[in-house]
Structure 1
Amino acid sequence: MKKSVLALGALIAVVTVSCSKKDNTELLPVEVPAVAIVNVLSQNTVAQEDTLIFKVKAVQGSTFAWSVDGKDAGVQDTIFKFVSDDLGEHTVKVIASGKDKQVSAQTSIAVHGKYKYGTFVLNEGNMTTENGTLTFISAGGVVTDSAYFKANGTQLGNVAQDLYIHRNKLYIISQNGKKNAVGNTFDNDGMLIVANAETLKKEAAYNDELATLSWPSHVAVLNEENIIIRDNNGLYRFNPLTRALTFIKGSRSAAKLTLAVSNNKLFAAAGSKVYVVEADKDTLTYALDMKASVSGVLKANDGNIWVSTTGAPAKISKINFRDYSLIKANEITAGSVSAGFGATPGITAKGDTLYFSGAGTKIYRHIFSLGSTEFMVDAKTKVENANIVYNNIAVHPLTGEVYLNTIKGYGWNYLVNNISAFNFNEGVKVSANYKNYTNFPAGIFFTYSFN
C-alpha cells in the first residue's frame, strides 16, 4: 500500500490509491471535485495590457466561475484570459462546482508597468518644427510609437537628448525645452521631465528653473536631490526639492557625451580627462587625465569604469571606481572608438565584451580579457537603407544583441530608417529590424541597464 498526493492550486485533494508494483498508479473517482489552475505561459508577472492565459483542470462535469481580487470576472469557461491595467499583486481564483459541492483554486499574479522591461529609443525630432518623441520596444518585440504622448497626452521638450532611470523614475532632458534655437515656442512639458518609469505618467516637469542652461544635452541621477545636468558650460547639480541649480566648479569642458554613474559617483568625459562628481558637492571630486581624447565613459558590470580614447593608438581602459587608478589598458588597432558627431559613447559593453563602430555601419568586437579585436559586420550588407548611423551602437545587457539606429539620408530621407538588432552568438544574424519608427534618434536605452 502507498499514498499518492495530488496538490491542486490553493487546496489539496488527497486520494488514497491501492496498487501493486506492476500497476500503473491512477486517480480513483472522488466525491468532491478536485480543481487546479494551470498557468499556460508559466509566467507569474505580466505587463499592463498584456495577457496571461489560465486553464482549469478539474473533474469532468464540473462548472466554473472565475474571479479577480474577489470580483466576478464573468467567465465560466475552462479558459480564462487575464488582462489588467492595475499595477501590483492580483489574485485569480476559480470555483468548480459539482454534485452540490464546491472547491476552489487560486494563484497570484504581479502586474508591472508596460514600460518597465524593454528598450527605449529617444528621438530628437526636427528642431525647427516639432518636439521630441519616445519609442518603446517591449521584451516581446512590440513597438509603441510616441509612448510618452500616449501615456500623458502631452509632448516631450524640443530636441530631446538624453534619458536616465533611477528608482523607478525616468528623467528626460531636452536641449531647448519650450523654445527652440530661433525663439519659436512649442507646446510641451519642458526641458527636464520626470515620469514614472513603468507607466511613463508625468510626475514633474521643469523649464523656468533651468532657464540659465545653454543647450543641455545629458542627465544622470545620484539621488533625488542630486540630478546632474551637462550643458555647453559644464556640469550642474539640480535639486528638484529646492529648485536650486548649482554649477559644479571645475567642470567646464565636460563633453557632450553620456554620463556614467557607479557607486554614487558620476563620471563624465571632458577632453582628455574624466571628471568625477559626488552627491551634495559643488566642486569636482577628481579629474583623471587619460592623456588622449576621451570618446566614451560607461559603467562596467563590476562597478568599475570603461573609458575609450582616440589617441595614437586608440585604447579601451578600465578604471578603478574607488581610487581612479588604471586597472588595464588595451590598444585598439582595428576599427574606430570615435564617438562621431553624436552624443553617445564610442563604446558599449556587456561584461568583458565591448563593441564599437566609430558611429559608422561597420561593427567591431573587442574581448577585453583577451585583448582581441575582430570585425563583425557592415550593417549596410544586412539592412536595407542603413546608410547613416545616427548616434552610436548599444549592446543589450541581457541578450548581447547589438542595436543601431540608421537613416537612409538627410532631407526627407530621414523618414526611411531602421532600428536593427544584431545577434553575434551564432555567426551574424539580424535578430530584429523595426522600420520607420525613429525621428533623428538621440540614443538607445535599455531599461535593464539601470537596475
Structure 2
Amino acid sequence: MNTRSIWSLLLLAATLTTGSCSKENEEVPSLKFELSTGSDAGTESPVFVVPGKTVEMTYAAENATSISVEALSEGWSAEVREADSRIVLSATDDAATKATLTVTATGSGTQKISQDVELYCLNAFDDPNGTFVLNEGNMTTENGSLTWISPEGYVIDDAYKTVNGTELGNVAQDMAFCDGMIYVISQNGEGNAVGATFENDGMLVVMDAKTLKKTAAFTREELSELNWPSHVAVLDEQHIYIRDNAGVYRLDSTTGTLTFVEGSDGAPKSQFVTMNGKVYTYKSGLMSKILEISTESDAVNSISLPWSVTYDINEVLGIQKSDDGKIWIMTFGFGKPAIGKFDPTTKEIKQHLLGVKVSTGSSGVAFAARGNDIYYADNMTIYHLAFDDDKEDDTNEEGDPVSAEEWMVDVSALDKNAGLQYNGLGVHPVTGRVYINTLKSFANYGQNQIWGFDFSTSTEAPAVKYENYTNFPAGFFFPEKN
C-alpha cells in the first residue's frame, strides 16, 4: 500500500469518528404534553360522562412519537384521535360509576409523560346517599331544573337536562318517587302565567329514577283541566294524584284521563304524605281534618283530628310521614305552635309545644323529620326538637308549658349573601344531614347557597356548602332506599 492510500484511510477513519461523536452529543428534543378536560367544575371534580353520549378532551403535545391510553374498566372506552389532538370518552349504562383514565405521551429515547384523569359515569341517580334539589326557575325567563348532589359531594347543575338534552316545565313545584320512576309536576308547563311560551318537556314529566331518562310526559294542553298544579303523589300508573287550585285530581297515565277526587276541594298547597298504599293531605281550620285517598275510591276518607288535644288546633301548617307509620302534623292554635304525631287508625295524637310558628313558603314545606328528630326554621334560624313519645312537656313556675326545642344556627350570620330562606328544609333520611336553601334576595336569586349541616358534629359551621347552583329552589328530595 502506498503512502497516499494510507493517508486516505486515516482521513476516512477520522471523519467517521468525528461524525459518530457529533451524533452522540446531539440533544434529544424535549417532550411536552398537556391534557385539557374542558371541565369548568374545577380540578377536584372528575370528568362526568352520560351513558350513550361522548365527552371529548383535548391535548397539546410537542415532540411526541405517540399518544396512548391504558385499558379502562368494563363499560368504559377511550379513543385517541391524534389527527386533531383529541381523546373521545364514552360509557355504557352498566359501566362502573368511577374509573381512572391514564394517558401517556411517548417521545424520543426513554421520554414519557403520563397523566391520570378521574372519570364519573352519570348512570346511578338512585344512590340513597345522594340528594336532589328541584328548581322552579324564574317564571318569566327559565324552565325548571333538577340539581343532583352525588354521595361524594359533586354537583350536577341540571342533571335532567344533562341526561336528556331537554328541560323540565316552567316553575317546577314538586316531585314524587314510585316503582323506580320519578314524577315532576310544574305549575305552568310550556307557558307561564303571562302568556309566554317555553320549550320544555311539559307539565308532568316522568323519568327513570336511576338514569333520569325521560319515559313519559304530559303537556299543558293534555292536562288542561289543571289550574296551577303544585304537588304530586303516586301510588301506581293509574293513580297519580295532582293537587291544584281546585283540589286533588287523579291522573290515569295509561289513558290520560283526569278525575277529580271528591271531597278534596280546597286541598292546601302542601306536600302529600304517601305511605301504606295511601295518600294523605289535609284541610286546615277549626275543623281540621286529614284527608285519606286510596285506590279503592275517587273520594277522600275524611279523618277528623281529636277535639280534646294538649294544644288547640286552629290551623294545620304541614304534614310529614313518620317512621312508625303515623303522620307528623305541625299545628297552630291560640298563639301556640305545636308538633304532633297522629295515628290515622286510632285517631290519637301526641303533641309537643314549639317556640316559634314557621312560615311554609310556596312549597308548603313547614318542617323536616328523621326518626323523632324534627327540624324547622323561622326564616334563617334553624331549630330542632327531639320528640318524646312518652314524656309530657315541662312547665315553668307559673305552670305554663315550656318548649324543649333547641336553637341550632342562624344561617344569615354565616354569610352576608344569605339574605332569605327559600322553601323550607330537608333532612337526609340516611345521613341525617339537614339542608336549607338561601338566596341573597329575590332580585339577586343568582347568588344563592345550598347548606348542609351535621348538627351532631357542629352547629357553628356547615358540613358542606354549595354556591350559585339553584334557581328558586322548590325543595330537597332524596332517592328511595332500596
**What's the TM-score once normalised by structure 2's chain length?**
0.69
Counterpart position of 2:341: 318
> Shift in Å at residue 375 of structure 1?
0.8
1:386 counterpart = 2:409: no
1:69 CA drift (Å): 6.5
- Matches of residues 112-123 of structure 1 in structure 2 within 5 Å? 113-117=123-127, 118-123=130-135
SS class of match (2:229): coil
For residues 236 and 324 of structure 2, the distance between their equivalents in structure 1, rounded to whole angstroms, comes to 21
- Contact 1:387–1:407 under 8 Å retained in 2: yes
Whole-Å separation in 2 of the counterparts to 1:364 and 1:67? 48
Aligned partners of 1:161, 1:415: CA distance in 2, in Å?
Answer: 19
- The aligned counterpart of 2:372 is 352
- Provide the residue aligned with 1:330 in structure 2: 352
Matched, 1:376 2:408: yes
Report the counterpart of residue 396 of structure 1 in structure 2.
428
Q: Which moved more, 1:375-384 or 1:181-190?
A: 375-384
Query: Aligned ranges for residues 204-353 of structure 1 at < 5 Å?
Result: 204-207=216-219, 208-271=221-284, 272-289=288-305, 291-312=313-334, 313-321=336-344, 323=345, 325-332=347-354, 334-339=355-360, 341-353=361-373
Structure 1 residue 363 corresponds to structure 2 residue 370: no
C-alpha deviation, 1:121, in angstroms: 0.7
Displacement of 1:194 in angstroms is 0.2
Task: Output the CA distance in 1 between the equivalents of 2:408 and 2:73.
Answer: 50
Q: Distance in 2 between matches of 1:128 and 1:67?
A: 45
- Which of 186, 192, 212 aligns to 1:180? It is 192
Correspondences of 1:195-210 after superposition (within 5 Å):
195-207=207-219, 208-210=221-223
1:363 match: secondary structure: strand
Pairing partner for 1:430 from 462, 467, 474:
462
Deviation of 1:301 (Å)? 1.2
CA-CA distance at 1:382 after TM superposition: 2.1
Change (3 A) 1:331 1:145: same
Letter in 1 for 2:424: N
User: Which runs of no fewer than 5 residues in structure 2 stay unpaired?
Assistant: 1-47, 51-69, 80-89, 100-120, 307-312, 394-403
Residue 365 of structure 2 aligns with an amino acid whose one-letter code is: P
Q: Name the SS of the counterpart of 1:380 in structure 2.
A: helix
Amino acid at match of 2:386: I
Q: CA deviation at 1:269?
A: 2.8
Root-mean-square deviation over aligned CA pairs: 2.7
Q: Is the 8 A contact 1:288 1:324 kept in 2?
A: no
Q: Which amino acid aligns with 2:454?
A: N
Shift of 1:126: 1.1
- Distance between the aligned counterparts of 2:77 and 2:419, measured in 1? 55
Deviation (angstroms), 1:426: 2.4
Contact 2:289–2:302, Cα closer than 8 Å, also in 1: no
Deviations 1:261-291 (A, max 9, x none): 0101111132233211112421002233364
Q: Aligned equivalents of 2:268 and 2:250: distance in 1?
A: 16
Residue ranges of structure 1 left out of the alignment (5+ in a row): 1-47, 51-64, 75-82, 93-110
Contact 1:310/1:337 (8 A) holds in 2:
no
Given the superposition, is the C-alpha separation of residues 244 and 68 from structure 1 closer, same or farther in structure 2, using an over 3 Å criterion?
A: same
- Look up the match of 1:132: 144
Q: CA deviation at 1:49?
A: 5.1
Counterpart for residue 114 of structure 2? none
Question: Per-residue CA shift, 1:23-49, capped at 9, x if unaligned?
Answer: xxxxxxxxxxxxxxxxxxxxxxxxx95
Aligned length in residues = 359
Name the CA distance, whole Å, in 1 between partners of 2:266 and 2:71: 62
| Equivalent-residue separation in structure 1 for 2:75 and 2:376 (angstroms) | 53
CA distance in 2, matches of 1:303, 1:112: 34
Matched, 1:408 2:415: no
Give the whole-Å Cα distance in 1 for the aligned partners of 2:465 and 2:163.
Answer: 25
CA gap 1:320/1:180 in 2 versus in 1, 3 angstroms: same
Alignment identity in percent? 43
**TM-score, normalising length: structure 1:** 0.74
- Contact 2:282 / 2:290 at 8 angstroms: preserved in 1? yes
